[in-house]
Structure 1
Amino acid sequence: MQDFSRLGHHRIKRFTGQYTEDGQPTYSDGDLLIETVYRFKGEQRPAVILVDIDLDGSRPEREWQLLYCALTRCSVAVDVLVSADSAWRKALERASQ
């Protein structure tokens, strides 16, 4: 089994599945926050890296909404990593020009 508690030299901070008494999520100790787009909705950070963007194009309107939500979480910079054969690669390349 792989150790997913580190990314390079950085410890990964992630949701533990637990909440405080006042309903706030608790996180593991770490340097880099790893989160799903759904859980990160409403949050913001200076830099965001989107990984595993393998949208299949089966529900384009919903996928654009999800992608828009993810792309608007950063205040300074965003990087998007997609596979070469992703249905969204060309659209993302056009949008970034």
Structure 2
Amino acid sequence: MSTGPRSPLSFVEMFELPTVVDVRTAARALGVCPATVYRMLRRQVFPCPVLRVGGRYRIPTIELMRALGVDEHPVYSMELHRPAECVQEAFAF
């Protein structure tokens, strides 16, 4: 098992996460080590709501993304190049 540092999550990887993530994944998203996340949790200064499931922490992905300032509806470059009427149709309710 590797104990070395892992690279932070990319923007694309953030949108591929499951509904909730573990401490290691949240640490990658924040660009810190898991020990820092555990320290934040103990001090109750973690930047978003956390679930306690049994003896484990689970962080809702949507809350983690909000804490990082990531919009839950990404804009893809393809949408930027489409005519305005196509984009308006996509967002019509």
State the TM-score, normalizing by the size of structure 2: 0.25
Bigger-Rg structure (1/2): 2
Higher helix fraction: Structure 1 or Structure 2? 2
State the TM-score, normalizing by the size of structure 1: 0.24
Higher strand fraction: Structure 1 or Structure 2? 1
